Amino acid sequence: MTEADLSAAESVGRSVHASNPEDLGIYAERLALHPHGCFVLQGSERIIGYILSHPWLSGQPPQLNSFLERLPPAPDTFYVHDVALLPEARGAGAGSAGVDLLVRQAVREGFTNLSLVAVNGAAPFWQRHGFRVMDGAAIRPRLRSYGEAASFMVRIL
């Protein structure tokens, strides 16, 4: 992902996450803070998907549509902030390829796990890729901004 891709990525995000879209500034901040964790999927005529990810703290997912300001000095997880694919990008392995890309990036950066918040019924997809739901009283308040059906998930590498 580059700065030139931000508007298109936000458009994909607004389409995929219509009930909980994030502001353009969130995309720009994630790219500025950790460009090695931001990717786009280019279709024949436009961007049809993206990934936002960055180092973070286990069990402390950022609130949805909130600025990080900086990455933590001692991160212990590679956090998958968002993977969004337009319908035309689904069903051809793009999601699985994205997971593989995330795993390679996490390993390259020295992490032993990935974490994320699954929304919009995506937990089964993530479970097929080795993620497990982690529940507990401490995590539930952090999931409120993601909606009632959100699940915090972790994959050990």
Domain boundaries, the chain: 3-156
Q: What is the pLDDT of residue 140?
A: 86
Type and span of the H or E element at 54: strand 47-56
Report, as an integer, the average pLDDT of 137-141: 85
Dig out the tokens for 66 from the structure.
């909130």
Q: Look at residue 135 and tell me whether its pLDDT is greater than 90.
A: no
Q: Look at residue 4 and tell me whether its pLDDT is greater than 90.
A: yes
Q: In the CATH scheme, what is the code of domain 3-156? A: 3.40.630.30
| % residues pLDDT > 90 (the chain) | 82
* 61: DSSP letter: P
Q: Per DSSP, what are the bridge partners of residue 85?
A: 49
Report, as an integer, the average pLDDT of 25-47: 96
Q: Look at residue 81 and tell me whether its pLDDT is greater than 90.
A: yes
Report, as an integer, the average pLDDT of 116-127: 94
Q: What pTM was computed for the model?
A: 0.95
* 62: DSSP letter: P
Contact between 5 and 30 (Cβ < 8 Å): no
Alpha-carbon dihedral sign for residues 43, 100, 102, 60: positive
